[in-house]
Amino acid sequence: MDRRRGSSPLLFCGGIGFFFYVIGGILGEKYGRRNVMIVSGVLVGPLNLLILFTSGHVWVAIVFFCIYQVTNGTWSGAGYSYQSEVFPTRVRGTAVGWMGAMQVGGQLLGTAIWIVLTATTNLVITWRVIAVCIGIAQGVSTFFLPNIKPGQELENIIT
């Protein structure tokens, strides 16, 4: 098999994926970063459920591409700016560092849950619990984030 043929779709999707960061940032600036994160977060659970019902490599790739863009592309495009907006100026660096540590903690906890579930159940149940149920819970939790109106100077934001 020609390696270029196998890597071309990956390179193409990575190139398209770059624009999801930009799109997330633009939409966040126009409609509010929290709102973009809510839409992205709410899409995670249903897309992860949809992947269980897709057949054929092309459809799985398309759905997985969408999952990746809502969990990484638009979420990050709006999310990184949102982190700087939601914390008061004097503690912003510390707070963003704490959030990074919480992300790593979540990855450790998620890995532990994955290990326990795959050891005791099958992969479909594991996917439903972690990707669908926890994904839905994460999407719902975004509704509780503070709403920062777009277009404000960082110094003027009071949460």
Express each pLDDT in 56-107 by its tens digit.
888 888 888 888 888 888 888 888 888 878 887 778 888 888 988 988 998 9
The more confidently predicted of residues 136 and 93 is 136
- Domains of the chain, CATH where assigned: 3-144 (1.20.1250.20)
> How is 40-100 classified by DSSP, letter by letter?
HHHHHHHHHHHHHH--SHHHHHHHHHHHHIIIIIHHHHHHHHHHHHHS-GGGHHHHHHHHH
